[in-house]
């Protein structure tokens, strides 16, 4: 397979190195020329993914058109809020026949566009006139730090085109990276995005020194919120109990590698969002996704109390301890999962 990789952050590098081991031809595009030159020279990103060497056989370029020169597949791994601008750049600079010849657009970015509240597969379709039959969402419990070190990992390739999902499954799987297929594009993409908000809340809990009881409740009630939004948007309820759902949620909320959990912990220490973000070297997608999901909850008139309290803590200056208190003293109700998702 000839694969063009859009982005050169930790997840893009991890996937490129993984796919290179399968003898796929990889061209990785980095938007920032200085960063591209650094990666070409050092063959390593010492900040985002230290000690993971990028083989010489992986091409690195600052020219996005070069990623399409012989690409059968495009793997999108740019930050969620930059997906649209990246697609617009492609539309301006890449020859239309090359865009049309791409067999699959594999979206590994995670988030919901703030300006339009659109899922990322819709952003790609809007800007490049791509059909559902060419879209695949790659998601699941998969930190770049572990995938790049061959720690056993399982993910989901979701597409409305089952044959394409199976093709990605066969060509991306290795002895340490197992891919399952799924046809619920909406559900998988929503889980990938909204779980980052719950991870922010998990980090706040850790920063406040709260316990395992709290974390267990947070993950469970957090999944209720994800499923509630997913059902309203047409997702399959079964997705939420799978790898893209609880699998990714648990991993992101407990892992030391989780950027979103880490930034929540920093905020709980008393720093503002701006101060916390200055301490981060990589994008924490959950921050912007919190804005999007908060607006989606209002749009669909869905009760999402954890999301609401995270939003108020991040953007309205609410005390993390007060946010926890507000969640605990809400109106009493039955736990019936089915009723709460409805």
Query: What residues are annotated to the active site?
Result: 195
Does residue 90 contact residue 99 with C-beta atoms inside 8 Å? yes
Angle at 122 between CA 119 and CA 125, to 5 degrees: 155
Categorise residue 21: left if φ over 0, alpha if ψ from -120 to 50, beta otherwise. Answer: alpha
Q: Are strands 25-29 and 2-6 parallel, antiparallel or unpaired?
A: parallel
Chain centroid to CA 190: how far? 9
Q: What are phi and psi of 70, to 5 degrees?
A: -135, 25
Q: Other C-beta atoms within 10 Å of 38: how many?
A: 18
d(CA 328, CA 205): 13
Say what the alpha-carbon torsion angle 314, 315, 320, 326 is, to the nearest 10 degrees. -120
Q: Positive or negative CA dihedral for 44, 48, 76, 29?
A: negative
SS3 content of the chain, % helix, strand, coil (to 5): 55, 10, 30
The 3-state DSSP class for residue 18 equals helix
């Amino acid at each position: 397979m000839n694969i063009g990789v859009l982005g050169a952050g930790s997840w893009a590098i991890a996937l490129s190195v993984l796919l290179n081991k399968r003898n796929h031809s990889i061209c990785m595009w980095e938007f920032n020329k200085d960063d591209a030159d650094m990666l070409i020279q050092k063959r390593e990103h010492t900040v985002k993914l230290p000690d993971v060497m990028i083989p010489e056989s992986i091409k690195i370029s600052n020219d996005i058109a070069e990623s399409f020169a012989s690409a059968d597949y495009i793997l999108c791994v740019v930050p969620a809020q930059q997906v649209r601008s990246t697609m617009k750049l492609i539309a301006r600079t890449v020859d239309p026949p090359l865009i049309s010849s791409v067999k699959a657009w594999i979206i590994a970015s995670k988030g919901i566009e703030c300006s339009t509240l659109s899922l990322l597969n819709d952003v790609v379709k809007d800007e490049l006139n791509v059909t559902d039959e060419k879209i695949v969402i790659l998601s699941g419990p998969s930190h770049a730090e572990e995938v790049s070190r061959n720690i056993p990992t399982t993910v989901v390739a979701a597409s409305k085109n089952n044959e394409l999902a199976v093709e990605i499954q066969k060509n991306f799987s290795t002895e340490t990276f197992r891919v399952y297929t799924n046809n619920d594009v909406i559900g998988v993409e929503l889980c990938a995005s909204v779980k980052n908000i719950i991870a922010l809340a998990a980090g706040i809990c850790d920063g406040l020194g709260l316990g395992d009881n709290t974390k267990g409740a947070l993950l469970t009630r957090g999944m209720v919120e994800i499923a509630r939004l997913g059902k309203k948007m047409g997702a399959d309820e079964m997705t939420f109990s799978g790898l893209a759902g609880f699998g990714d949620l648990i991993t992101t909320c407990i892992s030391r590698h989780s950027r979103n959990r880490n930034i929540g912990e920093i905020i709980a220490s008393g720093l503002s969002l701006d101060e916390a973000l200055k301490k981060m070297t990589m994008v924490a997608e959950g921050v912007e996704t919190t804005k999007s999901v908060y607006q989606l909850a209002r749009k669909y008139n869905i009760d999402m109390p954890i999301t609401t309290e995270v939003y108020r803590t991040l953007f309205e200056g609410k005390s993390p301890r007060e946010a926890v208190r507000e969640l605990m003293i809400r109106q009493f109700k039955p736990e019936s999962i089915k009723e709460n998702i409805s």
